[in-house]
């Protein structure tokens, strides 16, 4: 693959059309990488103001000693705001970052096609529209592709390189090589609703919002469990307040509608009500949380200290939670081993088992308590527990005391299928497996996208390999039995792998 050459005058010219936050960020990336850049915006004066904003940002980089003053001056010498599309005639790459309206993008690229050379690459930064549809009005649709940058473009490494139905392989190769030369991490994907990240990430938000609607716990507790047990950098409630509830809900709705209302992608009514009420998150001062000046963040529900059990019996093995056994022994609590089962038995008769898509209340053993999945039980600082409605209070206290003896905070949540982390991760793994099976992207690109685009603690396919295809399938089947709407139906790709006892991709 050959990247677009960098130059100091006209060679390697990159044009950016649309000078909002994303357009400015893309222009800055190309500038710092050594390209001459021309900025165009249909609104009078906006391109010049954007050039000034880029100069200010580069100045801040100089102040932070991340860029030399000479480097800033050289970069700014290559930046030219223009007022006419004809001024983009010499561009080798045009990146569009205008409003997310199909007609507007088609009109722009039709106009550009009559201006630029036949060798110029055309790229749309759309996050929600079909690249194929954008290119459908062009005489030469083969040179148009998607380059989906993530905000803020100068900081986020991921770029999704999206091939439309008519995109030439050579065009995609050249675009990928170019963004790689800019220091970005490109991943290739097909033109499908949500591409990689916005498709596979939907359960991270949807399952937490559904848990809230089911009154499993409050947003602060659900966020804490997913952060401190699941290993995610931010919980879904605080993250969507940062993104903007209107923006996040619109992406979810767009993917759901584009996939013909697939029940796995159903939007959240609670989030829809937030958006309708104007509570869009930080930018409006209120979302799931109150962001007004001086407003404190509510604390997650955390259990009071309880006495740990004097000993524990391991029946069978705990599957993905087997690492707990070593932690219990390290805490000085004796562990005996029994050959049959998949649970921990405490001296008072309490039976502790890993969340598997069923509820503790469904367990025929009354004193049943479920514990949630963790990314790594050794490093997790919080674990969620849910007790059967028939369990005596002493059973819950014993279970709480056991995890507290391991140095964990404990959040007691309502007893629902899959709890919090388990159902979220099982869905993420299956969405990733299904995306690969449908040709959305290669396995390595899926995990790279989720690691670098949304900062997941582990790629979902790698996570699935740790958990095992059968555990993921069985958890989803149990969830599907509890909620037979199709939302939790495991994909055929996952079912096949689990049946053959194959590793996930």
* 207-217 confidence digits (pLDDT tens): 999 999 999 99
Q: Is 228 a catalytic residue?
A: no
Q: Are residues 446 and 407 in the same domain?
A: no
Cis check: omega of the bond before 152, within 30 degrees of 0: yes
Q: Out of 35, 148, 286, 343, pick the active-site residue.
A: 148
User: Which 3 state secondary structure label does DSSP give 356?
Assistant: coil
Q: Are residues 203 and 176 in the same domain?
A: no
Q: Are residues 220 and 265 in the same domain?
A: yes
Candidates 265, 211, 266, 264; CA nearest to 488 is 264
Candidates 493, 19, 2, 454; CA nearest to 240 is 454
Rounded distance, CA 468 to CA 466, Å? 6
Q: Is 148 a catalytic residue?
A: yes
Q: Are residues 95 and 183 in the same domain?
A: yes
Cα–Cα distances in Å, from 236 out to 141, 201, 224, 245? 38, 10, 10, 11
Residue with tokens 């509820």, as numbered in its chain: 359
Q: Are residues 172 and 249 in the same domain?
A: no
Q: Is 480 a catalytic residue?
A: no
Rounded distance, CA 209 to CA 334, Å? 39
Main-chain phi, psi angles of 164, to 5 degrees: -75, 175
Q: What token pair was written down for 400?
A: 């709480």
Q: Are residues 19 and 134 in the same domain?
A: yes
Q: Are residues 187 and 255 in the same domain?
A: no
Model confidence band, residue 199 (pLDDT cutoffs 50, 70, 90): very high
Q: Are residues 43 and 137 in the same domain?
A: yes
Rounded distance, CA 503 to CA 246, Å? 38
pLDDT tens for each residue of 388-440:
999 999 999 999 999 999 999 999 999 999 999 999 999 999 999 999 999 99
- Say how many C-beta atoms besides its own lie within 10 A of residue 299's C-beta: 10
Q: Out of 92, 113, 127, 238, pick the active-site residue.
A: 127
CATH number of the domain at 99, please: 3.40.50.720
Cα–Cα distances in Å, from 328 out to 175, 263, 368, 402, 406? 52, 40, 19, 8, 7
Q: Are residues 22 and 161 in the same domain?
A: yes
Q: What percent of the chain has pLDDT over 70?
A: 98
Rounded distance, CA 500 to CA 101, Å? 45
pLDDT given for residue 37 in this prediction: 98
Rounded to 5°, the CA angle 269-270-274 comes to 115
Report yes or no on 300 lying in a domain: no
Q: Are residues 204 and 167 in the same domain?
A: no
Which residue range(s) make up the domain with 478?
424-499
Rounded to 5°, the CA angle 473-342-369 comes to 95
Q: Name the domain count of the chain.
A: 4
Stated as kind and residue range, the H or E segment containing 343 is: strand 342-345
Q: Out of 113, 160, 238, 249, pick the active-site residue.
A: 160
Q: Are residues 108 and 24 in the same domain?
A: yes
Q: Out of 35, 92, 125, 198, pick the active-site residue.
A: 198
Beta bridge partners of 331: none
pLDDT tens for each residue of 349-394:
999 999 999 999 999 999 999 999 999 999 999 999 999 999 999 9
Residue 6 or residue 299, greater confidence? 299
């Amino acid at each position: 693959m050959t990247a677009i050459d960098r130059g100091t005058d006209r060679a390697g010219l990159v044009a950016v059309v649309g000078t909002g936050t994303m357009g400015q960020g893309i222009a800055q990336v190309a500038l710092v990488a050594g390209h001459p850049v021309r900025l165009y915006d249909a609104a009078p004066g906006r391109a010049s103001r954007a050039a000034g904003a880029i100069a200010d940002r580069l100045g801040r980089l100089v102040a932070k000693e991340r860029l030399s003053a000479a480097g800033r001056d050289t970069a700014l010498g290559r930046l030219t705001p223009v007022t006419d599309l004809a001024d983009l005639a010499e561009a080798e790459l045009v990146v569009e970052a205008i409003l997310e309206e199909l007609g507007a993008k088609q009109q722009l690229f039709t106009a550009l096609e009559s201006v630029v050379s036949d060798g110029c690459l055309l790229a749309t930064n759309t996050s929600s529209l079909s690249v194929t549809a954008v290119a459908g009005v062009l005489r030469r649709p083969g040179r148009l592709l998607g380059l989906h940058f993530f905000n803020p473009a100068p900081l986020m490494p991921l770029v999704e390189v999206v091939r439309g139905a008519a995109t030439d392989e050579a065009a995609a190769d050249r675009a990928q090589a170019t963004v790689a030369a800019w220091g970005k991490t490109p991943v290739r994907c097909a033109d499908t609703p949500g591409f990689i990240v916005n498709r596979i990430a939907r359960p991270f938000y949807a399952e937490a919002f559904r848990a809230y609607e089911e009154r499993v716990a409050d947003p602060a507790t659900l966020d804490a469990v997913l952060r401190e047990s699941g290993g995610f950098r931010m919980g879904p409630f605080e993250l969507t307040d940062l993104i903007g509830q209107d923006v996040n809900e619109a992406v979810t709705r767009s993917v759901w509608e584009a996939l013909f209302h697939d029940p796995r992608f159903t939007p959240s009514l609670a989030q829809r009500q937030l958006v309708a009420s104007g509570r869009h998150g930080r930018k409006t001062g209120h979302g799931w949380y109150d962001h007004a000046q001086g407003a404190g963040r509510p604390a997650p529900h955390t259990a009071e200290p309880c006495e740990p059990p004097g000993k524990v019996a391991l029946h069978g093995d705990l599957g993905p939670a087997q690492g707990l056994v070593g932690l219990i022994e390290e805490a000085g609590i004796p562990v005996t081993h029994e050959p049959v089962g998949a649970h921990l038995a405490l001296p008072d008769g309490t039976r502790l088992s890993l969340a598997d898509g069923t509820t503790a209340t469904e367990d025929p053993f009354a004193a049943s308590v479920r514990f949630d999945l963790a990314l790594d039980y050794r490093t997790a600082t919080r674990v969620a527990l849910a007790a059967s409605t028939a369990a005596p209070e002493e059973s819950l206290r014993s279970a709480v005391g056991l995890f507290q003896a391991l140095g964990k905070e404990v959040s007691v949540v309502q007893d629902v299928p899959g709890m919090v982390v388990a159902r979220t991760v099982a869905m993420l793994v299956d969405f990733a497996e299904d995306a690969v099976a449908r040709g959305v992207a290669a396995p390595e690109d899926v995990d790279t996208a989720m690691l670098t685009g949304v900062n997941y603690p582990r790629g979902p396919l790698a996570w699935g390999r740790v958990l095992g295809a059968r555990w993921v399938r069985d958890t989803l089947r149990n969830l599907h039995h509890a909620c037979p709407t199709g939302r939790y139906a495991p994909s055929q790709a996952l079912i096949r792998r689990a049946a053959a006892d194959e590793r996930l991709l």
